[in-house]
Amino acid sequence: MLAVARSDAPSGADSVDRAVDLVHSSPARAQRRGDSSFTGLIPFLVFIALFLGVPICGIVLSAFRVADVNDPGSYVPSLANFVASFRGASWDAMQNSLQISVIAALIGGVVGLALAQAILTTRSKKLIAVVTVLTSVLANSGGVPLAFSFIAAVGNAGIMTGLLSLTDLGFTLYSSGGLILMYQYFLIPTMVMVVLPTLAGLRLEWKEAAASVGATSWYFWKKVGLPIATPAILAGFVLLFGASFATHASAAALIGGGGVPLITLRIDSGLAGGNLAGQENVAMALGVNMIVVALVVLLIYMPLQKRSLKWFK
């Protein structure tokens, strides 16, 4: 009897504790309890420090130092890598990447927006369901297989190149234009994915309501439709820009080292060249520049995305 009572004691005490907890589980108490606990997050934080913190510190530190000319093998802090990253071939690559990304995002944005509206116009539930799945798959497609399929289709010996005699038209896949064409494969679906929910949320009833108080179609779009859709459209464009700018795998598989200057490929070649003439550290500065661009993209995207959902909560 006593033994049973004793063996029950810890869990008995526990459940009393819990009962007390439950009775007092006001938000303030939950907060206090949350405050004291932290130990369970340590494995995660250690992992993050190792695989995210260390590489980021590595790239930033390397970007801000150059080899010491007086003492080979050691480094001195310097801004020279950033200066170099805004000059010559590195700057060309940066500019070209920015230019390709803006054009690709504009094309993908316009086509994606039109496509999303076209899909809604068909009023086919089945099509919308299929498109929803397909866009999230295609938005993630890319990399080596994407480059290879485009080579098979419109590359030098591609099937469509022969059929449509694209070479005679002056088209080549291994150019900025070719990259823009290829990027649309994941950009258009991304745009559809971003704007479709918003466009679908624009109810016919709203337009009818506007019409019943005398608004023309044009007036409805100006005063209701566009203001509601604009945040989503801008968010989509910004996201497309960021996705094009950071694209490396498919571009590398398509044009490798030469041909089209791109910031991602420039980082590649800087790393491959070892520390010859300090190129590795310039590559790190380019990496930091990319992080800054991506950060700006994210900071613009997030509030826009949040606002695009405002009407549809």
Partner 1 sequence: MVQMRQSTRATRGIRVVAPGLSWALIILVALYIAVPMLCALAFSIYVPTTGFTFVPYLESVRDPGFFGALSLTLLITVLTVVGLLAIMVPTMVYLHLKAPRWRPVIEIVCTIPLVVPSIALAAGLVTVLRSMASFGRGSVPAQISQLLQNPDLPIVLVGSYIVLTLPFVFRSLDAGLRTIDLRTLVESAHSLGASGATVLRRVILPNVKGPVIFCAFFCIALCLGEFTMAVTLGYRTLPVWLTQIAGSNFRASISMSLLINALTWALLIAMTVLAGRAAPARVLALKGHKS
CB of 31 to partner 1, least distance (A): 7
Q: How far is the CB of 140 from partner 1 (least distance, A)?
A: 6
Reading phi first (left if > 0) and then psi (alpha if -120 to 50, else beta), residue 203 is in beta
**Dist. CA 131–CA 139, nearest whole Å:** 12
Contact 98, 290 (CB under 8 A): no
- 18 sits near partner 1 (criterion: CB under 8 A): yes
Query: What's the closest the beta carbon of residue 39 comes to partner 1, in angstroms?
Result: 9
Rounded Cα distance between 22 and 137, Å, is: 45
Q: How far is the CB of 231 from partner 1 (least distance, A)?
A: 12
Binding mask 159-188 for partner 1 (x = CB under 8 A): xx----------------------xxxx-x
Q: Using the rule CB under 8 A, is 9 a contact of partner 1?
A: no
d(CA 241, CA 100): 9
Q: Which of 180, 202, 233, 260 binds partner 1 (CB under 8 A)?
A: 202
Specify the DSSP class assigned to residue 52: I
φ and ψ of 65, to 5 deg: -140, 155
306: helix, coil or strand? helix
Regarding 214 and contact with partner 1 (CB under 8 A), the answer is no
Distance CA 199, CA 260 (A): 37
Task: Work out which of 79, 89, 137, 211 binds partner 1, going by CB under 8 A.
Answer: 137
If binding is defined by CB under 8 A, does position 132 make contact with partner 1?
A: yes
* Distance in Å, CB of 156 to partner 1, minimum: 11
Answer yes or no: are the C-beta atoms of 78 and 65 closer than 8 Å: yes
Please report whether residue 82 would count as binding partner 1 according to CB under 8 A: no
Residues in the chain: 313
Q: Contact at 8 Å (CB) between 299 and 134?
A: no
Q: Does 255 bind partner 1 (CB under 8 A)?
A: no
Among 34, 77, 170, 214, binds partner 1 (CB under 8 A): 34
Q: Apex CA 182: angle with CA 176 and CA 140, to 5°?
A: 130
Considering CB under 8 A, how many residues would be counted as binding partner 1? 114
Span near partner 1 by CB under 8 A; candidates 56-64, 76-84, 85-93, 99-107: 56-64
Q: Could you say whether residue 143 binds partner 1 (CB under 8 A)? A: yes
- Residue 237 touches partner 1, criterion: CB under 8 A: no
